[in-house]
Structure 1
């Protein structure tokens, strides 16, 4: 069997806060999931996104420690249009989530913004400029 990319997993300190962030981006996360140690959803296209409480991660990796510094990997979400980039930015930063780079028109032809989720993971929002 050939390898198939299947899942992105993230360790989270506060499950409820993390799920709130990703729900605000439109992910369909079941109600009541905040009380679980492991939550996952299947994204369009079939890749799964999962969150594990740090306490659960430490049950199989007792010496796990969170990374420090800037994120080395970002999740990128394509928006319908440049106005949607601005709308998500305003909603998420208005709800107290960290905005790293405010929306701007990037030289590569996209409206772009960078947020951090509650655990410091980079989350990019983008949309083509000019309706591409």
Structure 2
């Protein structure tokens, strides 16, 4: 878990929690990502919520949910393995935004497998192509 030490505007990340294990409706070992925030998500600017993860070997993964006015623009994970070709994977649906001030996303088993047993992460919220807060 991380707690954001800075105040972002117009959206302020409060905390992020990552739980690795089984997720109902998903195959294999996944990572459930829960981001909490305060502030108002701008209705007229694209907002990207993302988890950035890497391991000691240099493999890199990004999980992202891009929205505009509460509508999903893209829900994806991006892989950049140290010894392979970078690839974007679009996922069906979107993040769970049913609880006010909370974004829930799932990093699929293939991404968790690429990262292996030891990896670290951070999260960011980006509004209209500008990072406004990190955790």
**Structure-1-length-normalised TM-score:** 0.25
* Larger relative helix fraction: 1
Structure number with greater Rg is 1
- Output the TM-score relative to the length of structure 2: 0.24
